[in-house]
Amino acid sequence: MPTANAQPLTITMHPQDNVAIVANDGGLPAGTVLPSGLTLTGHVPQGHKVALAPIAQGAPVRRYNVTIGYAVQDLPAGCWVSEKLLRMPDARGLDNLPISTEARQPLPPLEGYTFEGYRNADGSVGTRNILAITQTVQCVAGVTSFAVQRIKAELLPQFPHVDDVVALEHGYGCGVAIDAPEAIIPIRTLRHLSLNPNFGGEVMVVSLGCEKLQPERLLPPGTIPIADQREQTDLDVVCLQDDAHVGFMDMVQSIMRQAETHLIRLNARRRETVPASELVVGVQCGGSDAFSGVTANPAVGFCSDLLVRAGATVMFSETTEVRDGVDQLTARATTPDVAQAIIREMAWYDAYLQRGSVDRSANTTPGNKKGGLSNIVEKAMGSIVKSGSSPISGVLAPGEKLTQKGLIYAATPASDFICGTLQLAAGMNLHIFTTGRGTPYGLAACPVVKVATRSDLARRWHDLMDVNAGRIAEGEVTIEALGWEMFHLLLDVASGRQKTWAEQWKLHNALVLFNPAPVT
Ligand code: CA
């Protein structure tokens, strides 16, 4: 609860808004007089909305200068505007959207920023030097995991310049409709995952033998860029059903033997100074609350603009969390083609949700609502600000690989693990993740910088959260200053000079494929 002398603190996002959110830890009790003179008619929890003026039944409730809902009854000034008092607006249609009307001139370039990274044969740059073991099918996961434990214990200590060995485990490969049109999504996701910049182009595959997703279908000839001094060779595959394998330990030995050839090459690599434009940063949020769109996401948005100005790539995703702001996105597209690609991805996702008899409102969680987010419209407005203000210069469909720099809309579900997996497949070498409710999320393939939206969370989770954006709500730091702080932190983490908490504790969530195709 707030202490007796704590000043009541509310945050209004736009002068046209008729609600503000309460910032004080523990919320504010009935009878509190706000600095504006408004008296609260009842308790308002932290992160929840208070009516700044009387709102008549049926009138719009505005936050971010957007209608986030309509009042279901007359609301007096000073009352708690809970989710139950709002009716959600209908989704914005995909017709007659503004096309490239606000694609501003690019912001002035930022020059001279660098980090220490691993340069790859295909021109990409890794922030870590990891041996990844690709798998064609879930059947081999147990054997591969066993082998990886032995590789880590017996081989890795001999290769001090290699950071880790990671098995790319997943649930695909057999029992799936592999020729269905949408099967292209999980297949290209797996293909592009194994080519992530943090894996140094050293692709090795463990296959069962009888699976539908055969190694040559996963990685057709010519897919893997090879360093100049080496010949294009056959795909490196360990096939467990190979007649030569007699017993389990034989299979493990095969995997270890092949892993060693890759570890030798990875171990010879060294970091070199590269421009900040080689960063490929995926931004995401999870466990959002009403502060996500006030503190952490605006600071990430400012940092995203700095990265784009430095020539880097920034991906924002989570289709259901930006769907309600589609008009903002199409307006910011650099060209009509980019705007049409945004509309194409949104339309595909609308149809996908409809097939499952749900709509975008299925997104918000009980935790979101407890944290003050009434519905997906309010959540979306707070989510979009992660993308900053740069023009949107490209769009990726799920599982596609990046081919350009700048601010990219990479269409993915909002699920933290599916989004993270798809951003890794796109080529992400650094991840920023904002959270209000708190999640210990991490990825084995790439550093995850976690940003807390509230100081209370940052204090309690002091050894899980890398950045405390709650300081913005307390007036200790500006959005711009925190954006710069994050920008410098990203360069340090990318260079390996600093490790994220998830890396220190080795907290890794599973890779989760997005498979909209049938399972047989
Ligand atoms: Ca998410």
What spacing in Å lies between the alpha carbon of 154 and ligand 1's midpoint? 37
Higher-pLDDT residue of 235, 118 = 118
User: Would you say residue 27 lies in a domain?
Assistant: yes
Query: pLDDT per residue over 475-505, tens digit each?
Result: 899 999 999 999 999 999 999 999 999 999 9
Together in a domain, 322 and 416? yes
How big is the CA angle at 120 (ends 117 and 125), to the nearest 5 degrees?
35
What spacing in Å lies between the alpha carbon of 284 and ligand 1's midpoint? 6
Give the per-residue pLDDT at 3: 44
What spacing in Å lies between the alpha carbon of 258 and ligand 1's midpoint? 36
What spacing in Å lies between the alpha carbon of 31 and ligand 1's midpoint? 37
Together in a domain, 441 and 402? yes
CA distance 468 to 457: 8
Together in a domain, 339 and 483? yes
User: Would you say residue 15 lies in a domain?
Assistant: yes
**Boundary (domain end) residue, out of 271, 291, 308:** 271
Together in a domain, 6 and 62? yes
Copy the structure tokens of residue 496: 């390996």
Helix (H, G, I), strand (E, B) or coil at 305: helix
* Arithmetic mean of pLDDT over the chain: 95
What spacing in Å lies between the alpha carbon of 467 and ligand 1's midpoint? 18
Q: Is a pLDDT exceeding 90 seen at residue 455?
A: yes
**Boundary (domain end) residue, out of 271, 295, 315:** 271
What spacing in Å lies between the alpha carbon of 441 and ligand 1's midpoint? 10
Copy the structure tokens of residue 64: 């971010």
CA distance 272 to 450: 26
Give the per-residue pLDDT at 213: 97
3-state SS of 332-393 is: HECCHHHHHHHHHHHHHHHHHHHHCCCCHHHCCCHHHHHCCCCCHHHHHHHHHHHHCCCCEE
Q: Residue holding tokens 């080496």?
A: 230
Give the per-residue pLDDT at 222: 86
What spacing in Å lies between the alpha carbon of 77 and ligand 1's midpoint? 34
Closest CA to 180 of 518, 438, 520, 504: 518
User: Would you say residue 40 lies in a domain?
Assistant: yes
Together in a domain, 413 and 363? yes
Give the per-residue pLDDT at 230: 60
CA distance 20 to 81: 10
Q: Which long-range contacts (CB under 8 A, 24 or more apart) does 147-154 make?
A: 147/206, 147/251, 147/252, 147/255, 147/256, 147/259, 150/252, 150/256, 151/255, 151/256, 151/259, 151/263, 154/256
Give the per-residue pLDDT at 1: 41
What spacing in Å lies between the alpha carbon of 412 and ligand 1's midpoint? 9
Question: Which residues fall within 8 angstroms of residue 10, CB to CB, at 6 or more apart?
Answer: 20, 21, 22, 23, 34, 50
One-letter amino acid for residue 275 of the chain? P
Neighbours of 179 (CB within 10 A): 9
Copy the structure tokens of residue 477: 């730091």
What spacing in Å lies between the alpha carbon of 302 and ligand 1's midpoint? 19
What spacing in Å lies between the alpha carbon of 433 and ligand 1's midpoint? 8
Together in a domain, 259 and 307? no
What spacing in Å lies between the alpha carbon of 265 and ligand 1's midpoint? 35
What spacing in Å lies between the alpha carbon of 434 and ligand 1's midpoint? 9
Neighbours of 404 (CB within 10 A): 9
Angle separating helix axes 184-193 and 416-426, nearest 10 degrees: 60
Residues measured by CB to lie within 5 Å of ligand 1, the ion: 284, 286, 414, 416
Q: Is a pLDDT exceeding 80 seen at residue 443?
A: yes
Q: Is a pLDDT exceeding 50 seen at residue 4?
A: no
Query: pLDDT per residue over 81-128, tens digit each?
Result: 999 999 999 888 999 999 999 877 778 999 999 999 999 999 999 999
Together in a domain, 55 and 30? yes
One-letter amino acid for residue 157 of the chain? P
What spacing in Å lies between the alpha carbon of 437 and ligand 1's midpoint? 12
Copy the structure tokens of residue 322: 């930006």
Do 374 and 83 touch, CB atoms closer than 8 A? yes
Closest CA to 349 of 311, 368, 376, 370: 376
Do 421 and 358 touch, CB atoms closer than 8 A? no
Give the per-residue pLDDT at 399: 98
**Boundary (domain end) residue, out of 248, 271, 294:** 271
pTM for this entry: 0.94
**Which domain range does residue 258 map to?**
115-271
What spacing in Å lies between the alpha carbon of 291 and ligand 1's midpoint? 15
What spacing in Å lies between the alpha carbon of 484 and ligand 1's midpoint? 23
User: Would you say residue 354 lies in a domain?
Assistant: yes
Together in a domain, 144 and 252? yes
Give the per-residue pLDDT at 107: 84
Give the per-residue pLDDT at 6: 74
What spacing in Å lies between the alpha carbon of 393 and ligand 1's midpoint? 22
Write phi, then psi, for 470 (nearest 5 degrees).
-60, -25
DSSP state of 156: G
What spacing in Å lies between the alpha carbon of 295 and ligand 1's midpoint? 17
Q: Taking the chain, what is the end-to-end CA distance rounded to the nearest angstrom? A: 54
Give the per-residue pLDDT at 232: 59
Closest CA to 194 of 136, 278, 259, 279: 136
User: Would you say residue 79 lies in a domain?
Assistant: yes
CA distance 51 to 73: 13
Give the per-residue pLDDT at 242: 98
Sheet holding 19-22, edge to edge: 10-11, 19-22, 49-51, 80-81
Together in a domain, 356 and 383? yes
Query: pLDDT per residue over 349-396, tens digit each?
Result: 999 999 999 988 888 888 889 989 999 999 999 999 999 999 999 999
What spacing in Å lies between the alpha carbon of 50 and ligand 1's midpoint? 27
Helix (H, G, I), strand (E, B) or coil at 179: coil
pLDDT confidence of 304, banded at 50, 70, 90?
A: very high
Together in a domain, 411 and 464? yes
CA distance 443 to 429: 11
User: Would you say residue 348 lies in a domain?
Assistant: yes
Angle separating helix axes 141-150 and 248-267, nearest 10 degrees: 60
Together in a domain, 389 and 474? yes
372: alpha, beta or left? (left if phi > 0; alpha if psi -120 to 50)? left
User: Would you say residue 519 lies in a domain?
Assistant: no
Query: pLDDT per residue over 161-201, tens digit each?
Result: 999 999 999 999 999 999 999 999 999 999 999 999 999 99
Helix (H, G, I), strand (E, B) or coil at 471: helix
User: Would you say residue 108 lies in a domain?
Assistant: no
CA distance 220 to 191: 9
Percent of the chain at pLDDT above 90?
Answer: 89
Number of domains observed in the structure of the chain: 3
Please count the CA atoms within 13 angstroms of the CA of 36 that sit on its side-chain side: 14
What spacing in Å lies between the alpha carbon of 6 and ligand 1's midpoint? 33
What spacing in Å lies between the alpha carbon of 318 and ligand 1's midpoint? 6
Average of pLDDT values for 242-266? Answer: 98
- For residue 5, the domain's CATH number is 2.30.130.110
Give the per-residue pLDDT at 231: 61
> Any alpha helices (H) in 151-247, and if so which ranges?
184-193, 215-218
Q: Which long-range contacts (CB under 8 A, 24 or more apart) does 226-232 make?
A: 226/121, 226/201, 227/121, 227/201, 228/121
Average of pLDDT values for 57-63? Answer: 97
Query: pLDDT per residue over 195-228, tens digit each?
Result: 999 999 999 999 999 999 999 999 998 888 876 5
Together in a domain, 165 and 42? no
